[in-house]
Chains A and B, each alone.
Chain A
Amino acid sequence: MQHYSAFSLARHALSHHKNWQSAWRKADPKPRYDAVIIGGGGHGLSTAYYLAKNHGMKRVAVLERGWIGGGNTGRNTTAVRSNYFYPESVALYDLSLRLYEGLSKELNYNIMLSQRGMLIAAHTPIQMEICNRIANAMQLNGVDGRLMTAAEAEEKAPLVNKSKGARYKCMGGIWQDRAGTARHDAVAWGYARAASAMGIDIIENCEVTEVFTSSGAVAGVETTRGKIQTERLGVAAAGATPGLVQMVGGDLPIHNYDLQAFVSEPVKPCLDTVLLYLGTGTYVSQSDKGELVIGGGLDRVPTHGQKGNLPTQETVISGLLEMFPAFAQLKLLRQWAGVVDVVPDSSPVIGPVGPEGMFVNCGWGTGGFKAIPAGGYLLAHLLATGEHHDISRPFDLNRFAQGRLIDEAAGSGIAH
């Protein structure tokens, strides 16, 4: 692997940047692997990386039906945080944030982690009480969350609607200092590059069409590029995971919906934080290029089509304009959607499914970008040892039959 540094940049300038190695090898499928991962999104790629790094497993392939990072990983609004409500969730998401904090160095790839903080804003006294409760939970869970006053919030987001008749006048909210954003493509590419350098095959344009079993255990997969044998199979295919698990006769607690995002034309720096309004459900941050990156709630129609519907666009944008009337002057440059895998308790499903040797990492819904390092770390642990890591155990599929849901939708009231 070519090391990236200021020195290598200068050296390649001499040859007009024409001799850079490609970041990862374009591998062709081999007939057999020790482990196969379906899905070349952030979770699949980080699984491969931690399999090699933490467990020394290198005869591993990541199979991606399109191009890596072309699913939700490359479509998300990149908010990262760990201020969840339940201890199980905080253990998971804070492991992820801690891994993110060291990731640019570890991967020798700049993932542009920007810990600019995140404010979850309230506009009624009742919401402030809920925020207080969540801030207390965060502190009990040992993360850096706290309650923020209205005055401080206005300082963080100076353009926020302060007018007398404002429908959603900011009363303050919950603040996490270590929250922020990271560059989504860089997370996928950085993991792919590091995994490939350790010998892992990353195989694009390779769709899994069938899962084979033999006496109750995984035996291999059929793909559009031929049959591959393996006894360990990890599935990290987001909204496509239910269909893959149905191939071996299992069902998952997942509905697929679209989640949309929007980007405005670039403007000068005007918002130095990630802001989510509980009242409107809209959230916004500003990219390094100056564009506003805007998101909101789910489309309410189950779908596998990566194309959002109009009423939700209207809801999200009208929420934005309530919060920031000045943004009404901006033009939207782009709009897109991803198919997110939504679980009733808004927590992921990580663990064994169906035949022996098969594990899933899915159900991240609207909030799994921030969880990419931890999701991969934990799925790698399952694939290598066959056992749960303590952090993934509560997220096993068996929580539904046991009535032990981890209801973050109700607990922290936050979509992302």
Chain B
Amino acid sequence: MQQFPCPFCGLRNETEFHFAFEAGHPRPEPAKDVSDAEWAKYLYLHKAPKGKSSEIWLHLTCHEYFILHRDTVTREVLSCDVLPGAEA
């Protein structure tokens, strides 16, 4: 079993975590000016990067979202960060 770091709880088993989405995907605003294509892009389109990847994960046990930097080929965890504006 691999262990992932939560910025709040430290190293925990991978089964406690849930991948949410790729990082760097800001919600387009204001809603009334957003086209269907932009909204679909925000909701559905991804990069699925091969190699280094920054992702938003949820630690299911403490319910905090955070950023996990990983390598999608080797599965190595590079580091983790709190979300912008949050404090660990």
A: residues with CB less than 8 A from B are 239-240, 242-243, 246, 251-256, 300-305, 307, 309-311, 341, 344, 400-403
Contacts and interface: CB of A to CB of B under 8 A. Distances in A.
Interface residues of B, number: 26
Given A300-B18, A401-B36, A401-B37, A305 B47 contact: no
B46 interface: yes
Contacts of B51: 304
Interface in B24-66: 36-37, 39-41, 43-48, 50-51, 53, 55
B86 interface: no
Contacts of B44: 253, 344, 400
A307 B75 CA distance: 10
17 contacts: A243-B48, A251-B41, A251-B47, A252-B45, A253-B45, A301-B19, A302-B19, A303-B72, A303-B73, A304-B50, A309-B75, A341-B48, A400-B40, A400-B45, A401-B37, A403-B36, A403-B40
Contact of B46 (A251, A301, A304, A307): A251
Interface string B3-23: 000000000011100110000
Given A301-B19, A303-B75, A309-B2, A402 B36 contact: yes
Contacts of B45: 251-253, 400
A365 to B, nearest CB: 12
Nearest to A243: B50
Given A311-B15, A401-B36, A246 B47 contact: yes
Contact of A253 (B15, B39, B46, B73): B46
Nearest to A241: B48
B72 A305 contact: yes
B88 interface: no
A297 to B, nearest CB: 13
A244 to B, nearest CB: 11
Contacts of B48: 239, 242-243, 252, 254-256, 302, 304, 341
A301 B16 CA distance: 12
A239 to B, nearest CB: 7
A401 B40 contact: yes
A21 to B, nearest CB: 38
B46 A309 contact: no
Contacts of A252: 45-46, 48
B74 A302 contact: no
Find the residue from B2, B40, B51 having the highest chain A CB count within 10 A. B40
Nearest to A252: B45
Contact of B55 (A240, A302, A341): A302
A126 B1 CA distance: 34
Contacts of A302: 19, 48, 53, 55, 72
A307 B2 CA distance: 13
A255 B75 CA distance: 15
B16 to A, nearest CB: 10
Which of A301, A305, A400 has the most chain B CB atoms closer than 10 A to its own CB? A301
A121 B54 CA distance: 39
Nearest to A246: B47
Contacts of B19: 300-302
Nearest to B13: A311
Contacts of A255: 46, 48
A344 B37 CA distance: 16
B14 A311 contact: yes
A305 to B, nearest CB: 5
A242 B22 CA distance: 14
Nearest to B53: A302
**Ranked 6 nearest A-B pairs via Cβ:** A251-B45, A401-B40, A253-B44, A242-B48, A400-B40, A304-B50
B38 to A, nearest CB: 9
B46 A305 contact: no
Contacts of B15: 311
A341 B47 CA distance: 12
A227 to B, nearest CB: 23
B33 to A, nearest CB: 16
Contacts of B1: 309-311
Contact of B47 (A242, A309, A402, A403): A242
Contacts of A243: 48, 50
B14 A304 contact: no
Given A242-B47, A251-B41, A309-B2, 10 more contacts: A251-B45, A252-B46, A256-B72, A300-B19, A302-B53, A302-B72, A305-B72, A307-B75, A400-B40, A401-B36
